[in-house]
Amino acid sequence: MAAYDPQVKVVHTDRHRGHDPRVETYLGEPVPACEVPERAQIIRDALAADEAFEIVEPAGHGSEPILAVHDPGLLRFLEEAWPAVQRQRIERDFLVADTYPTRGMFQGMSEAFVAARPEPSAIGGRTGWWGLDSSNPIRPGTYDAARWAVDVALTTTDLVLGGETAAYGLCRPPGHHAAAAMAGGYCFFNNAAIAAQAIVAKTGERVAILDVDVHHGNGTQQIFWRRQDVLYISLHADPKRLYPFFLGHPDEIGEGPGRGANRNFPMSLRADDAAYLATLDNALERLADEPGSILVVSLGFDTYEKDPIGDLALTTAGYHEMGRRVGALGRRLVILQEGGYHLGALGENARAWLRGAAGLPAADAAAVPAADRAVRGTIPRP
Ligand code: SP5
Ligand code: ZN
């Protein structure tokens, strides 16, 4: 018999492994990649060893939910990119753009004129056309992995629409930097935005997205910028200091019908649990009078005190408390993985957050080995 009934369902597939970047660049210099397959494996293993969780496989959902959010050109590019590299017989095993269409290039030209510029045909030009930055190399298995990350998000959504109070999608690659017509920041499709759109379409309710990754979710903000029915709330490092640099400021509140449905909360350098949780409480006040029964969480652990991103300073105990406060909102939760790169702590941080969200005590990781727990069928409560 399970120690906890109901268990929190964790949607996971190992199909993410084909997206296995080895290097990214830091100021142009090659450095070891942060967003690696071990991340998802570590979180999966930590949750599989805890009887509060049950791992389930995703189901395929096809292209339609992706096209409800993304430009068909982005989908086509990601599908065609690796085969195009192969046709060119370039001696390399990854694809990264080095030329991007940035704002100064089009200065003074009308929006309609700029929108009518044609997509290049060369693969280097196409990669820049659909990309934000050089931190997300395309590998042979990237497209398949990115498609499965969307299916993980949509299966998680189905579970919650089917009556689960909360479910967690172990999405990899992550999604929140991907805009309607742009990949970037380790992201290809915006898993959380696709989930939110699917919820709106199926329920007709308003949906809120809470983004607690250390980076501003510029893609999610862009996708719902003019939408009143999807509220985007993000806590993140000040973009003056940290990627994505060009969006994430507090005056970005949405436009048109979406005015007021976008809220950014940049944090000060090395903000700790207390500072973060105080800002979280402020941010969640915006949710109080917002209709809708489901909250999508873009969950990142790159706010961790020892994360290589190195901007904020949260602890494992802080994650449990953050999860607890989000769970206590009384909304059903579609929780989707975004960033988090400290491999040694990722498992415990995910476990702490999710146990908090499920109203469970923070487990004492050292108390009983996983094998013993399975035999005894119970988890010691502190
Ligand atoms: C989903 C997500 O967390 N995306 C983050 C994308 C960040 N892209 C640039 C990161 C550069 C960090 N390189 C590590 C160097 C640490 N000093
Ligand atoms: Zn991040």
User: Worst-scoring range by mean pLDDT, 214-218, 259-263, 318-322, 359-363?
Assistant: 359-363
pLDDT in tens, 72-85: 999 999 999 999 99
Q: Where are the alpha helices (DSSP H) in the chain?
A: 37-48, 64-67, 72-88, 111-115, 123-129, 142-161, 191-203, 218-223, 273-288, 316-327, 343-357, 370-376
pLDDT in tens, 31-41: 999 999 999 99
CA distance 120 to 184: 18
pLDDT score of 33: 96
Nearest residue by C-alpha to atom 2 in ligand 1: 339
Q: Best of 19, 23, 26, 216 to mutate for ligand 1, by most ligand atoms within 8 A of CB?
A: 26
3-state DSSP call for residue 354? Answer: helix
- 372 or 156: which leads in pLDDT: 156
Q: Please report the sign of the dihedral spanned by the C-alpha atoms of residue 53, residue 58, residue 64, residue 66.
A: positive
pLDDT score of 371: 42
- 93 or 316: which leads in pLDDT: 316
What is the whole-number distance in angstroms between the Cα of residue 233 and the centre of ligand 2?
15
pLDDT in tens, 220-236: 999 999 999 999 999 99
Work out which ligand 1 atom sits closest to the CA atom of 187. Answer: 1
What is the whole-number distance in angstroms between the Cα of residue 356 and the centre of ligand 2?
21
pLDDT score of 295: 98
Judge whether residue 374 has pLDDT over 50: no
| Integer angstrom CA distances of residue 179 from 120, 235, 251 | 19, 18, 19
Q: What is the mean pLDDT of residues 306-316?
A: 98
pLDDT score of 91: 80
Ligand number nearest to the C-alpha of 174? 1
Q: Which of 19, 177, 215, 320 is catalytic?
A: 177
> What dihedral do alpha carbons 215, 190, 72, 225 form, nearest 10°?
-60
3-state DSSP call for residue 13? Answer: coil
Ligand 1 neighbours by CB, cut-off 6 Å: 26, 34, 135, 174, 177, 185-187, 213, 215, 243, 300, 302, 308, 310, 338-339
- Report yes or no on whether pTM surpasses 0.85: yes
Ligand number nearest to the C-alpha of 39? 1
What is the whole-number distance in angstroms between the Cα of residue 213 and the centre of ligand 2?
5
Judge whether residue 368 has pLDDT over 80: no
Only one residue has tokens 């007021």, namely: 260
**What DSSP string describes 251-320?**
T----GGGTTSEEEEEE-TT--HHHHHHHHHHHHHHHHT---SEEEEEE--TTBTT-TT-S--B-HHHHH
Question: How would residue 365 be classed by pLDDT, with cut points 50, 70 and 90?
Answer: low
What is the whole-number distance in angstroms between the Cα of residue 34 and the centre of ligand 1?
7
User: Worst-scoring range by mean pLDDT, 15-19, 55-59, 142-146, 374-378?
Assistant: 374-378
pLDDT score of 6: 82
pLDDT in tens, 84-128: 999 987 788 899 999 999 999 999 999 999 999 999 999 999 999
Judge whether residue 3 has pLDDT over 90: no
Nearest residue by C-alpha to atom 13 in ligand 1: 26
CA distance 338 to 82: 24
Only one residue has tokens 């997509």, namely: 119
Residue 236 among the catalytic residues = no
At 247, which amino acid appears?
A: L
Average per-residue pLDDT for the chain? 94
Q: What is the mean pLDDT of residues 205-210?
A: 98
Q: Return the closest-CA partner of residue 74 out of 149, 25, 173, 146.
A: 146
What is the whole-number distance in angstroms between the Cα of residue 293 and the centre of ligand 2?
26
Q: What is the mean pLDDT of residues 137-141?
A: 96
pLDDT in tens, 167-182: 999 999 999 999 999 9
| Pairing status of strand 8-11 against strand 53-56 | parallel
pLDDT score of 88: 86
3-state DSSP call for residue 42? Answer: helix
Q: Are 219 and 194 in contact (CB under 8 A)?
A: no
pLDDT score of 25: 87
CA distance 363 to 348: 9
pLDDT score of 28: 84
Counting every residue, how long is the chain?
382
pLDDT in tens, 249-300: 999 999 999 999 999 999 999 999 999 999 999 999 999 989 999 999 999 9
Nearest residue by C-alpha to atom 8 in ligand 1: 185
Q: Best of 22, 133, 186 to mutate for ligand 1, by most ligand atoms within 8 A of CB?
A: 186
- The CB-side HSE value for 304 (13 A sphere, CA atoms) comes to 25
Start-to-end C-alpha separation, the chain: 21
Judge whether residue 366 has pLDDT over 50: no
Question: How would residue 302 be classed by pLDDT, with cut points 50, 70 and 90?
Answer: very high
